[in-house]
Amino acid sequence: MSADTMRMGSGAGFSSDRLGPAVDLAEQAELDWLVFETIGERTLAFGHRDRLQNPSRGYNPQLAARMRGVLKPCRDQGARIMTNMGVANVEAAAEVVIAVARELGLKGLKVAAVLGDEVTDQLNDQTVLFDYGGRTLGEVDRPLVGANAYMGIDAILPAVETGADVVITGRVADPSLFLAPIADKFGWQRDDWAKLGQGTLVGHLMECGMQITGGYFADPGRKHVPRPADCGYPIATIDADGGAEITKLDTAGGMVNMATVKEQLMYEVHDPTRYLTPDVTADFATAQLQESGQDKVRVSAAGGTERPKQLKVTVGFDGGLLGEGGVSYAGVNAAARARLAADILRQRFDAIPGMTDQYRVDLIGLNAVHGTARPDASGESQDVRVRAAMRSMDRNLIEGMLWEVESLLCCGPAGGGGYRGQITPGVVTHSTMINRDAISPTVKVYEA
């Protein structure tokens, strides 16, 4: 690798993302860094819930499997690993990485854990939630499970500077996972807003994994993706001013072109001139994209202005339980029988004692997904599933709802079958802001 460029790969774009193509990058892509981004607001809240149930959990459930797959090839290739798989228990996650390294005989492997994002103790019932109509934390009226500030490169860089083979974090801004190694490599100043903005764009494009290499893109008949089953994770070759070329392994399926990069450019972005991170107010609106070869797109010219004064905080609450159950109707007049079943369910639900929680009944195959967008949908499928769903803090109420769905098998319309029901725990998240000096990030180094 040339001294004046660096090469980064993505090995995960969300908590459950695929492992095989990450191993391919570790073995073949000649990377400086392989980055696994796995935290969403919900996965963080679930991490807190897991840790409350078992103090040794709360990190990404795929952490050990991923490390078994990539630790050795990364070490052989001289690639370092950056990941937020620590989720709500970074120290326990670091211990897991060390344990896997020992299992693989990788003596001396170093892990740097970035700590300090949890701010649960600093909030109280008067804390104002800006995404909740300015109401307070107390008004949510649910058990708090944990709160974390989005940290940025200020917190990650000291871990990078230890030279550790693996840097593991909890809640940091997703693009910062990429920006910290870039800023370290090229020695960028912490107030060089234009470069930090461009580096943040590279991180933003890479952090969703295959969403830029043809994953989440195919639309048969209109948008063709070659060998989608073998889609590869993206690789970025970055130069000293943050300009980058996005590509993939030649041997991998998928593709990189203007269309795949554009869709990712605005993914989960609102105002493109003000993309807020702990590091910079990035401006993606000036970005230039150019196809520079087969499966190669060059990205440059994003900018930035001063970083926000405060840090965003995600606050997680116990969301109670989600109950879902369904029965299928098929063949002649299926839609009418399914509609009748839905009517019967609504009458029976309303008669359940204490039934005050809101429920929903969908007809899958007719208008389930866009039922509220297109209430007039009148397609007459012969393959319709009645689905009922409800959230509640009261398990008995949900079990009563599911009992009524299952009962359709003998006392609903003719020909219904295939009952399945499940109850899954839920979380609720809200957001607030906190002053930068309210957190004190630290780094803890472990050695195998």
Partner 1 sequence: MTRKVPLRDLAHARAGDKGNTSNISVWAYEPGDYPLIKDQLTPERIKAAFPDLITGDVVRYELDHLHGLNFVLGEALEGGVNTSLGLDSHGKSWSFLVLGLELDVPDNLA
Tell me how far, at minimum, the Cβ of 261 lies from partner 1, in Å.
Answer: 10
Residue 317: beta bridge partners? 144, 428
Closer Cβ to partner 1, 64 or 423, answer by number: 423
Check if the beta carbon of residue 110 is closer than 8 Å to that of residue 446: yes
CA distance 159 to 333: 64
Q: Where are the beta strands (DSSP E) in 225-309?
A: 235-239, 244-247, 275-276, 281-283, 288-293, 296-300, 303-305
Q: Is the dihedral of CA 201, 204, 206, 210 positive or negative?
A: negative
Tell me how far, at minimum, the Cβ of 362 lies from partner 1, in Å.
Answer: 7
CA distance 43 to 22: 21
Can you tell me whether residue 309 is helix, strand or coil?
Answer: coil
CA distance 110 to 444: 10
Tell me how far, at minimum, the Cβ of 347 lies from partner 1, in Å.
Answer: 19
Closer Cβ to partner 1, 105 or 133, answer by number: 133
Closer Cβ to partner 1, 74 or 173, answer by number: 173
Tell me how far, at minimum, the Cβ of 127 lies from partner 1, in Å.
Answer: 17
Closer Cβ to partner 1, 117 or 324, answer by number: 324
Tell me how far, at minimum, the Cβ of 92 lies from partner 1, in Å.
Answer: 25
Q: Where are the beta strands (DSSP E) in 344-406?
A: 359-364, 383-392
Segment holding 93, helix H or strand E: helix 90-103
CA 19 to chain centre: 15
Tell me how far, at minimum, the Cβ of 289 lies from partner 1, in Å.
Answer: 7
Closer Cβ to partner 1, 81 or 265, answer by number: 265
Q: Nearest CA to 313 among 135, 442, 130?
A: 130
Phi, psi dihedral angles at 446 (to 5 degrees): -120, 150
Tell me how far, at minimum, the Cβ of 233 lies from partner 1, in Å.
Answer: 18
Q: Where are the beta strands (DSSP E) in 87-222?
A: 110-115, 144-149, 166-168
Can you tell me whether residue 321 is helix, strand or coil?
Answer: strand
What's the Cα-to-Cα distance from 38 to each of 2, 8, 42, 60, 64, rounded to whole Å? 30, 17, 11, 7, 14
Tell me how far, at minimum, the Cβ of 156 lies from partner 1, in Å.
Answer: 23
CA distance 409 to 10: 48
Query: Rg for the chain (alpha carbons), in Å?
Result: 24
Phi, psi dihedral angles at 14 (to 5 degrees): -165, 175
Tell me how far, at minimum, the Cβ of 267 lies from partner 1, in Å.
Answer: 5
CA distance 406 to 404: 5
- Applying CB under 8 A, which residues contact partner 1? 42, 131, 216, 219, 222-223, 259, 262-273, 285, 287-289, 319, 322, 358-360, 362, 364, 368-373, 375, 387, 389-391, 426-429, 431
Closer Cβ to partner 1, 219 or 250, answer by number: 219
Segment holding 134, helix H or strand E: none
Closer Cβ to partner 1, 64 or 289, answer by number: 289
Tell me how far, at minimum, the Cβ of 306 lies from partner 1, in Å.
Answer: 21
Closer Cβ to partner 1, 191 or 271, answer by number: 271
Closer Cβ to partner 1, 97 or 299, answer by number: 299
Closer Cβ to partner 1, 104 or 289, answer by number: 289
Closer Cβ to partner 1, 273 or 382, answer by number: 273
Check if the beta carbon of residue 176 is closer than 8 Å to that of residue 196: no
Tell me how far, at minimum, the Cβ of 295 lies from partner 1, in Å.
Answer: 18
| β 5-12/110-115 pair status | unpaired
